[in-house]
Structure 1
Amino acid sequence: MVERTWRMLREGHPEARRGCPEVIEAAFAEPRLRRLYPFPSHGALFFHRNTDFPWSNDLPHIATGFSGYVVYAARSAEILGETATPEEAAAVVVAHLPDDCGPAVEGPWPESAPGPSI
């Protein structure tokens, strides 16, 4: 499911969610991010540890800004970095991933798993 979703995003498949192609490509180039479930929404690319709602919602994400890219902590709790390129933004996300992150599990996020479940 993760590989298929990345492929559909990168190919602009009509059934795929829409996101910034440059951010999608930069994130896909990072092996640790490529193992997570990508979820473009509201001008941002979110990463989840699972493939179906409810999402893990405990990982950083990349938002497209006015003059670059902004990396937010989970739930937009704080800004982790502002970058000029999507590649730099993807690197900031990777630097802030938990050690035990990935690959994404199929299905909803288990309630007993670490991290928020909503």
Structure 2
Amino acid sequence: MTDTVDAAWQRILTLADEPARPDSPLSEAFAEMVRVAHAEPRLRGLYPWSGMWELHFSRCTEQRYTWDILYIGTLADGRYYVEGPSRNSPRTAETESARVAVARVADRLPPACGPAFAGNAEELAAHETARGRG
């Protein structure tokens, strides 16, 4: 894991442990999701980012991030959903378990996924093309 990826995980873990709205059922569900995702070695090497109570994973460390990995979100009742990889993709699962949601993402990673590439999506694509994988 690179220092950049590790720092991003530490920011997300800190955010999850200090929710802005502690009375929200989304706060604890989000915190659990982040902890479980961080514990999964196949995801821990990817660059995490979050927004709207969702946890996304990128194969690169800089914006524009990759959008080729499923992501996990929290529902109002504290359950989880898995969608993606793009916003136009259908929801693939809903579950009460963060572990089930994380496993679904980890089991559906693209081939040869990780560790995260230092750079943005365009630089990653050029790198993969040069290596004959693009």
Query: C-alpha root-mean-square deviation of aligned residues, in Å?
Result: 1.9
Kept after mapping to 1: 8 A contact 2:117/2:124: no
Kept after mapping to 1: 8 A contact 2:60/2:124: no
Q: 1:112 to 1:29 in 2, by over 3 A?
A: closer
Which protein is richer in helix relative to its size? 2
Amino acid at match of 2:56: F
Which protein is richer in strand relative to its size? 1
1:94 aligns with 2:114: no
- The equivalent residue for 2:15 is 12
Q: Deviations over 1:46-78 (max 9, x none)?
A: 100011111111110001013310000211301
Hey, what's the Cα distance between the residues in 2 that align with 1:27 and 1:60? Answer: 12
Give unmatched runs, 5+ long, in structure 1: 14-18
Q: 1:112 to 1:106 in 2, by over 3 A?
A: closer
Identical pairs, percent: 33
Q: 1:96 to 1:103 in 2, by over 3 A?
A: same
Aligned length: 109
Q: TM-score, normalised by structure 1?
A: 0.83
Q: Choose from 52, 66, 76 the match for 2:76.
A: 66
Hey, what's the Cα distance between the residues in 2 that align with 1:35 and 1:28? Answer: 9
Q: Choose from 94, 102, 106 the match for 1:82.
A: 94
Runs of 4+ in 1 over 4 A off after TM superposition: none
Hey, what's the Cα distance between the residues in 2 that align with 1:59 and 1:91? Answer: 13
- The equivalent residue for 1:3 is 6
From the CA coordinates, give the structure whose radius of gyration is larger: 2
Hey, what's the Cα distance between the residues in 2 that align with 1:39 and 1:95? Answer: 19
